[in-house]
Structure 1
């Protein structure tokens, strides 16, 4: 076949496959049998294999999944992906309505949508072509999962218009796909996923697109990141526009004129929820008018014009078969209920939190009891109460141990605490959990060193403390199960890269009691170096606003331990950074910068700085960076594709700079 003929045939096949795929995956109205779709796809694959120069990024063959990725790149969202505030009852919804009326008056309407229980994603299109997809991340920066998202057949690779826009949605795993996946994992002796949400997130946040393609994920789009010149003036119009472009939106939505209509819609779905082919965990309520949305604005984290109603926790009855104990990194012994498996809020639950021995005594929980289980916030299963009237006499009392199950040291209860604690610093369980904490995302963030690998290294006696991580060799890692040459290379690179982390990451990773990630940043910023911090007295520490007596005592006690200082010296020898690397803010009084004491808003895409870099530099000069524009805003920095924030700034007469002007002032 000649090239020209092949090109015509390939275009014909792509057009047919796109049409049939849209009918099947978006409209749920297939017009041809699966066998015909498969035949056409095979023909396309053969032609693209023969004429690779004719393959394009929007070809339906891209959905099969390509080569395994090395790592996920970071993506800065052009418009932040804010989280929603929560409502848990009718009064919360009425309070939300009252707040809206105080700003918008009485002339407005709501749009109610099902809150899909999945993974929030952002999709970017340029001239109608899907070019990038990312996770929500922290709302400002996510991870590039384009290759995995291309495998979701309801995501169009090319739109029906050659428009450029960023859309937001929820990727999810349908119940049928979830059940099939877990059945396959159990047959292979693997741990099943806890719920469809975890399964969807796990599928999209792994490096093999072919694996993602095999998981049969789906997506609903629920919003546009930047309306731009589309002419859309309301959220409901935006959803209709997404339909026109070929996106899949959820049709179970309703426009409501009053909060009473909203509450009626919410209550109707409490009953209908179990019959859906996918999981939902609530209803999202949004003010429809985009102009009123802009008027209402946002807080640093959430839009004021939207709220998520969370369904009440579902309660079920099951049998408590056993109580299992575990020792955490701080030595706390935690009991967990082992249950006869039962479905709660759409997921199978086999374990539930019992918190501590006092709770077991207070609720008179016995092994063998019939117990009521619920999911707190639809996430964490817990034992609500015992059905004592259903006891048979075969139930067994449970008593918390007097000695640690791992190291046999005597357990103690510290003054003012309810938890039993192992205070042996050489307890294997605490060391193992401390290692897992050290490599976690908010600490040293070593990709590839997950809980299973750490446990394996620890049991093989390859690591005994965190410094040993930096001694690991290629040969040692290659000897482990499921560790190939490429994964070992990536892991060693990640370990080496972690040496360059700023001081606060190391401080948090060391697991000093009462020192969380925020306190670690405060300490690193204040003292600058590890040496300065280790030499600090309690008086030095409590002179910092965020540090109280309890935390100060804990920090001093930690650095007084000989083994702690030996560990720090060892980490130094392996090249682990011991200094704060971030910019140090100055006070308004100390700064002579134009930003001192000013509230600044960043909007749109900056070309030379990331949003976080610009924020850090402005704050280092005494400025305050806010997420929303108000009358209190002094300055707006507008990058490419700046949207509603720029519009509002212009309406309020607020000074607006471009990035070039920002860079000039930052470099003065």
Structure 2
């Protein structure tokens, strides 16, 4: 196919950019990644430069942002709110500095003072103060006309997340002051808000920028008031423009007037200092409380700014340096189920290679089936990818407008793709799990769990040792731990490894190996509760293991129990009974138990302490305990003859309240039920 003519290509680019602008600025729902958008804009700029006769007056290269929406009254800015041009290389920064120095007529060697700051990823707004009081506030819109969101802006800071937007200024402000800045959501607030939306069954936001824009552009200001928005000021204007000599003076006065300014702002003498700041921020940017995708570089001297002027959509005295993209669009070429160390099957998207934050990404986790269905990711879809910091890349959203109809849904396999055992999804769980106890994909994780303190308590079998055993094919299941030769344990502890800060040097390999062999021998004298917990049976944690041990008494009776037998056990429901029976019915699981017994493991029956403050009591746990997990606390109560209930009623004897206790604590107070904290709970356990 012949290449499109310049005129046709310009029309294609203009159409694509206008659609993207409308989706981003008006609908708060981007359809292109920042990197894609920048590439289209650069191509359009180059084509219009080569063919100026084809550039229309309303080209996206000559306008700022998107047209304001129809939901709010329009506000015309006294001075246009310009966009910033983007650069991505040292050479482009050098060109900027050379052009500025040349246009100002500076002598060779004379440097320019710049103000630099992190580039905030939020929604640009303008606040107008008259006689020190907030008179109006608006979005940037198309740069000339924005939306009147005054009522919404007044609520920012209401949740105490920051100092917010002052309704009245401190100090001695000018008669009219126009303040420009960014409304944004800090990362912690964004994650908390999305969790609330998911709990309410609502669609979460794709990223903090869209969350901030969507929160601010609500018709009901009370909705905005419930969102933990922040505002950071970065520009101030007054009619006449004679109050300040430098931009740095503006920032200092903005802080004195009561605005939040960015503590990361710096003044740099010359472009070399700008590059050094950029490099420092590139290393630190993932530690910042907000998202940033670059830095903004501005000439500090305000008189020089006036002399440099502006182009149609961006100033000649400022630029945004963009880091490699954290978000990018790519296509899903396949989806497969990866089996983790705990047996969880995680859907993983295989995508066409894409550069994100300086790394080539080919895979992205889809977390679990619910997340896969919620995002509706299909094989063949175009998706928006994100990689923030050092985290695993993730699919942010599907781009449904790119679908062709050839996309295919992914279905979880009925059998484990690694070992062939049955795959199950437990009631109330979000994940599918492999039921095979000897599955190689999850073997290392199962070994660590088997040897953990509250299971068989074999000190020395950590993640690295377990991985070594699997890699060397020394074990196929937990029972093989008792058959590993002493020399193999020596090799496991002889491997060189880097010590963590403050970590003591390991013992000699022979001593470490002997200690582990001794621990394995001691572990043979265990309890049925510990063994059932160690086996990693679906839905059987410590508490359920203790209940099962008390009811069945021996491992053989447990392994032979029918679903009906299991349903007769207190707190074992139909789904749990089915999952347990599926596990005990799996031939490879039965072989593991038989081999453990043959190795000398002798589980004693569960002992119930018939004395103490919990005997015959019904206890409810609420909130988070620092010293025990919920299952651990439940097991300790049941071991002492108590019963743990999931709800508070008049029959409840005691409520144990940890941090962030919720409705159960309130209900207990209403009914007059005794409530204790973790400290008293720990004391009662010791009685």
Fold shared, TM-score > 0.5 on shorter chain = no
TM-score, with length taken from structure 2: 0.39
TM-score, with length taken from structure 1: 0.40
Larger C-alpha radius of gyration, 1 or 2? Answer: 2
